[in-house]
Amino acid sequence: MSTTFQLDTATSRAHPTPAPMKRLTIPAIRARKDDGVTTEPIVMLTAYTARQAQLLDAHCDLLLVGDSLGQVIYGLSSSVPVTLEMMINHGAAVVRGSYHAAVVVDMPFGTYEQSPEQAFANAARLLKETGCAAIKLEGGEAMAETVAFLTQRGIPVMGHVGLTPQAVNVLGGYKARGRSEAEAQKIVDDARALDAAGAFAVVIEGVVEPIAIAATKAIACPTIGIGGSAQCDGQVLVTEDMCGLFERVPRFVKRYANLAEEIETAAATYASEVRARSFPGPEQTYQPRKS
């Protein structure tokens, strides 16, 4: 038995409660793909808060604390301004709110590209201060040396190729990648380089489907698709997109709910009851005890 933090929904406060810590491990995730075959696809969703982690944990193999929190939580125009401190704070919250899924935290832009030593210092801080199981970084062949440096020093790494959002200023936007023969080959080569460097999994984002399939077949470690192919070894979506919290729906997203509409309806009903003085009612107020 160990201790994790769970929310007491009656008070919305975190309290330590004993819970069996049977998290999935990174080696167990890596072992899902055996001799090129993944019989049980890997399920990954993003999570940024303890309560969100609680709701997703039982259904996921991996929870990704993505730097997409820059747009989703903070309203930034891209993930580029996200800081290491942001990732640490949200990563620690997700770890506290979960006990089953392995938690992976994104390395934000500017915290790992300079050198393997810089990457190790910041990745080690992420692991120490969040309790996460692994980190994720973007880039292919250019980052292979760094991936090898980290994995050889005890830090599991998930790679990320194809459409890499941190490189949006170089790429010129969020368009699908791999439409030219040269770019398609580079994506596959990038995936191979990360696999050879010791990455336990590789995210393949926003590429034309045949390239996602080719990259999946080309490497020994699992691939996680987002805008890739159902033939990838697993899938990831931004939870807020999956739940329908934003008006814009990227092509690769399937909405499994329309929570934005439900929240707006609830807020409108609340507002009307407050203005009509029908809330709070007797059930929500404290009355004097009868003597």
Q: Annotated catalytic sites, by residue?
A: 205
Cα separation, 36 vs 213, in Å, equals 12
Parallel, antiparallel, or unpaired: how do β-strands 37-38 and 33-34 relate? antiparallel
Q: Is 68 annotated in some ligand binding site? A: yes
Cα separation, 82 vs 105, in Å, equals 13
The span from the first CA to the last CA of the chain, in angstroms, equals: 47
Nearest to 150 by CA among 196, 117, 194, 187: 117
Alpha-carbon Rg of the chain, whole angstroms? 21
Q: Is 61 annotated in some ligand binding site? A: no
Q: Is 273 annotated in some ligand binding site? A: no
List the structure tokens of 50: 């303890």
Q: Is 106 annotated in some ligand binding site? A: yes
Are the CB atoms for 190 and 161 separated by under 8 Å? yes
Q: Which residues of 181-192 are buried (b: 16+ CB within 10 A; e: fewer)?
A: eeebebbbebbb
Cα separation, 248 vs 253, in Å, equals 10
- The residues near 145 (Cβ < 8 Å, ≥ 6 apart) are 116, 197
- The residues near 107 (Cβ < 8 Å, ≥ 6 apart) are 87, 119, 122, 123, 126, 135, 136, 137
* Residues tagged in the binding site annotation for 3-methyl-2-oxobutanoate: 67-68, 106, 136
* Residues tagged in the binding site annotation: 67-68, 106, 136, 138
* Residues tagged in the binding site annotation for Mg(2+): 67, 106, 138
